Amino acid sequence: MTMAGIYIHIPFCTKRCIYCGFYSTTQTDLMDRYTAAVCKELTERKEYINNHIKTIYFGGGTPSLLSSGQIERIFQTIMENYLTDGLQEVTFECNPDDITCDFLQSIARTPINRISMGIQSFNDDILGFIRRRHNSEQAVNAVKLCHEAGFNNISIDLIYGIPGQTVNIFREDIEKAIALNVSHISSYHLSYEEETPIWHLLQNKKIAAIDEESSVSMYHLLCDSLRKSGFKHYEISNFAKEGYESKHNSSYWDGTPYLGIGAGAHSFNGVSRRWNPDNITQYIDGIESNKPVFEEEFLTNADRYNESIMLGLRKSDGIDLAKFSSYIGEELFSHFMQDAEPHIKNGSLIMEKDRIRFTEDGLFTSDNIISSLFLLQ
């Protein structure tokens, strides 16, 4: 039996970072009503997936803004409505400046066993530019407090390719991250999401994107440094020590069903996708009035085919060809192998042990090849 995941979106932020394209709001006065709506949605939507739950992920926004009572209320609702005896991983996203001894003691009483911390950089000038709330010293201390509180599954996020960031600045970020003895590092190249403050700065020529050569150098530095320090590069932007790969995020890439709860959250059950409005009042009002607002699309064969390629090739071990063939059928599988052949011949893709994957270098420039393999809708 395939066990499912639950994603809970906590959209609250005290202020927005200039690069963030995820749905967020500064309306923190709505946190109590929002928590109640989340609990009601958890209760009413459990039929969408198999209710045997393997992973839970609190993302944001800033989940660490929730009070201990709000967190406990959400967990109580989950325990009352889902089968959690097989629960393996519960991730909670935190901002470094929210990490205190009291906070860690309160979440230690819950099923949370993995902390994901949005550090982004250890350089105070970079942190100020992207409008993070914390400084480098707070970030280092937050990780140390998590270790002291008994959390040994800690992931941190880093961003590279930020205007003003040099290869040497990023090298220092990587070295400081490694020195903190975390078990997982997610590192993303900055993307200019439309209508974000940093996108407007770029459009108005107030800043310039860094050059491609620097981006490539930072990526190679990241991969080489983390590999030498015992991290496995298991997905385009994710690196883990042995046994500490993110089970929840891996389930997205493997096509495992998941239920998305909260404003802007997405769900997938193998047949359809649903997504809630990225508007907190619209979301809360819909839940409270028993008229939840969401959109839904049912997947076509082309959707399933394209998503399997896109998600499978994000992983360093690539696509399991036997599983892919069984999922999409022999005719579409034959079409895929025909399209992939030129990329295998020129070395962009590697075929070995009944899998197709990118090289590590290929992962960084994979978008064009992946899109060339898609079925046209």
Which among 119, 134, 53, 123 has a CA at the least distance from the CA of 89?
A: 53
* Cα torsion through 61, 65, 69, 70, rounded to 10: -20
> How many Cα atoms sit within 13 Å of 372 on the Cβ side?
14
Which among 129, 188, 128 has a CA at the least distance from the CA of 156?
A: 188
Share of the chain above pLDDT 70, in %: 99
What is the structure's pLDDT at 377?
59
Strand 238-240 relative to strand 258-261: parallel, antiparallel, unpaired? unpaired
Alpha helices in 180-246 (DSSP H): 197-203, 212-228
Q: 50 or 98, which is more confident? A: 98
Q: What are 185-226's pLDDT values in tens digits?
A: 999 999 999 999 999 999 999 999 999 999 999 999 999 999
What is the structure's pLDDT at 125?
97
What is the structure's pLDDT at 376?
75
What is the structure's pLDDT at 360?
85
What is the structure's pLDDT at 338?
95
What distance in Å separates the CA atoms of residue 106 and residue 303, rounded to the nearest whole number? 42
What is the structure's pLDDT at 164?
94
**Domains observed in the chain:** 4-253 (3.80.30.20), 301-372 (1.10.10)
Share of the chain above pLDDT 90, in %: 89
What is the value of pTM for the model shown? 0.95
Q: 255 or 81, which is more confident? A: 81
Strand 53-60 relative to strand 89-94: parallel, antiparallel, unpaired? parallel
Q: 16 or 294, which is more confident? A: 294
What is the structure's pLDDT at 165?
97
Length of the chain: 377
Position 233: which residue type?
Answer: H
Strand 295-298 relative to strand 272-275: parallel, antiparallel, unpaired? antiparallel
Q: What are 310-350's pLDDT values in tens digits?
A: 999 999 999 999 999 998 899 999 999 999 999 999 889 99
User: Is the CA virtual torsion 54, 113, 84, 103 positive or negative?
Assistant: negative
Q: What are 76-108's pLDDT values in tens digits?
A: 999 999 999 999 999 999 999 999 999 999 999
